[in-house]
Chains A and B, each alone.
Chain A
Amino acid sequence: MSSSIRLRQLAIAVTAAVAAVGCGVSSTESDATAGQYFASFGYNYVPAGSKADLAAQSELVVKAKLVSVEDGSYIGDSPDDETASRTARLTFRSEAHPDPIVLQFPRPRNISPAEIEKLVADFDQYVLYLRQPGLSENSLKYMFNYDPTNVWALSTPQGFLVEADGRVTNPLEDEKETIFDGAQSLDDFLPEEGEKTLR
């Protein structure tokens, strides 16, 4: 792997030099697709057994639209750790909830927030099953540039539904069974009682 590292370091150095002289060349375009971006991270989690179960685990279930993607926190050994894992802050707005809803998703170093925003440009609307993030003390200790304001977490990856061109899919979920069998429109993916707001 050492030769590839040297090549990448050389490429980074050249890119940095180009940027330094003001050529305006983007160094972060990765040619990834939205599906590839969302496949760049995965979770082990306890799947909800049904839509009702997922709703019961959730404090907030909303239909929402994405309004911005920004650089988020990073996780490493220290604030200046260049090998840290990066995240993006995806901010949503929902008519059912008065405040912005922020989700932090991982992002590879070479996919910028601006590129993520382009990748999801065709995503018209979302259904999100959410609860408060369960960040432990140890997590927060090594998470830098973290702004907890309005941050939520998916109850499980099953709770991230995307509508694009009239089709609803879950780009995070690759299990072969779904708790939303028979659902067609985005509203079908909501709990039977509709959106769930804070009590």
Chain B
Amino acid sequence: METDGMSRPTIRKSAALVAGLTGLAVAVSSGVTADTFGNGPGDEGWRPDNKDHDWCYRVSMPNPMRSKAADAHFYLMNATTFTGQQQNCNSGTDVKWNYGGTNFLGAYVCDDLNGDKCDDASIFVNDTLSLPFGNVGHTMCHELGHSTGLRHGGTTDCMKSGRFTTTVYNQHHKDHINSQARVK
């Protein structure tokens, strides 16, 4: 970081940073196929605060996309021990759905970190790149998986990055989702 125009911030948490970077490097070079499940500090990704996974739609979401997002939640609730219902957006809504984005098919963003959990998050579905609907369904399932704490991985299910039509989690990922520690 350059120091012109601003003082170099005090170096802190360097050990944790190095450890984190080392962990990433090991993960990249290991060649293993099993992916990680977020566990907050010292791990990758963030688990939700509990298994009650309510959702809402921002005004940018058109009705057909709302229906597809609801399908992703209903599948999550049928396939795992997560629960939830649609509600009006508020600061505590677990998942807020948006339509629009940048260069990627979709994005998951934790809006509020609380200790080692993510209290609430937003999902962005790209309004041009994710079409046709098959890709939208995969992207929604993918980003919703991030909101349950999953990271990338697998070869045949939603958490594989890219243009795919799969809209299910494999058993490995279901087990991870169901193991989410803090139950409501």
The residues of A with any CB-CB pair to B shorter than 8 Å are: 1-2, 4-5, 8, 30, 32-36, 39-47, 65-68, 75-77, 82-83, 85-86, 93, 106, 108-111, 117-124, 131, 133-136, 138-139, 141-143, 153-157, 162, 164-165, 167, 169-171, 173-178
Instruction: Say whether B24 contacts A35, CB under 8 Å.
Output: yes
A86 to chain B minimum Cβ distance, whole angstroms, is: 7
- Residues in B145-166 with C-beta less than 8 Å from chain A: 146, 151-153, 161-163
Residues of chain A within 8 A (CB-CB) of B71 are none
Rounded to whole angstroms, the CA-CA distance of A30 and B13 in the bound complex is 13
B99 to chain A minimum Cβ distance, whole angstroms, is: 6
A selection of 29 A-B contacts at a CB cut-off of 8 Å is A8-B119, A33-B13, A34-B17, A35-B23, A36-B46, A39-B46, A40-B110, A42-B146, A43-B106, A44-B139, A45-B162, A67-B5, A83-B91, A83-B93, A83-B96, A108-B111, A117-B9, A119-B13, A122-B11, A131-B103, A136-B127, A136-B128, A164-B21, A170-B24, A171-B20, A175-B153, A176-B31, A176-B153, A178-B28
Interface class of chain B by DSSP: loop
Q: Mark B40-80, 1 if CB is under 8 A from A, else 0.
A: 11001110011010100011100000000000000000000
B107 to chain A minimum Cβ distance, whole angstroms, is: 5
In the complex formed, the residue of A with least CB distance to B117 is A4
In the complex formed, the residue of B with least CB distance to A178 is B28
Instruction: Decide: A142 near B59, CB < 8 A? Known: A109-B112, A171-B24.
Output: yes
B170 within 8 Å of A (CB atoms): no
Rounded to whole angstroms, the CA-CA distance of A178 and B27 in the bound complex is 10
Instruction: Say whether B119 contacts A4, CB under 8 Å.
Output: yes
A31 to chain B minimum Cβ distance, whole angstroms, is: 8
Instruction: Say whether B103 contacts A36, CB under 8 Å.
Output: no
Q: How many residues of B contact A (CB 8 A)?
A: 88
Instruction: Say whether A42 contacts B108, CB under 8 Å.
Output: yes
In the complex formed, the residue of A with least CB distance to B8 is A121
**Residue of B35, B52, B107 ringed by the most chain A CB atoms within 10 A:** B107
Instruction: Say whether A67 contacts B13, CB under 8 Å.
Output: no
A120 to chain B minimum Cβ distance, whole angstroms, is: 7
Rounded to whole angstroms, the CA-CA distance of A174 and B92 in the bound complex is 28
B16 within 8 Å of A (CB atoms): yes
Rounded to whole angstroms, the CA-CA distance of A65 and B161 in the bound complex is 29
Residues of chain B within 8 A (CB-CB) of A66 are 1-2
9 nearest interchain CB pairs?
Answer: A35-B20, A139-B100, A106-B109, A5-B92, A40-B110, A45-B104, A121-B9, A44-B106, A44-B105
Instruction: Say whether A35 contacts B21, CB under 8 Å.
Output: yes
Instruction: Say whether B58 contacts A118, CB under 8 Å.
Output: no
Instruction: Decide: A46 near B119, CB < 8 A? Known: A122-B14, A174-B44.
Output: no
Residues of chain A within 8 A (CB-CB) of B92 are 1-2, 4-5, 8
Instruction: Say whether B119 contacts A133, CB under 8 Å.
Output: no
Residues of chain B within 8 A (CB-CB) of A133 are 102-103
Instruction: Say whether B162 contacts A174, CB under 8 Å.
Output: no
Rounded to whole angstroms, the CA-CA distance of A48 and B98 in the bound complex is 26
Instruction: Decide: A44 near B30, CB < 8 A? Known: A133-B103, A134-B103, A139-B100.
Output: no
Q: Which of A30, A35, A46 contacts B161 (CB 8 A)?
A: A46
In the complex formed, the residue of A with least CB distance to B41 is A36
Instruction: Decide: A138 near B11, CB < 8 A? Known: A2-B92, A42-B45.
Output: no
Rounded to whole angstroms, the CA-CA distance of A93 and B44 in the bound complex is 29
Instruction: Say whether B142 contacts A139, CB under 8 Å.
Output: no
A49 to chain B minimum Cβ distance, whole angstroms, is: 11
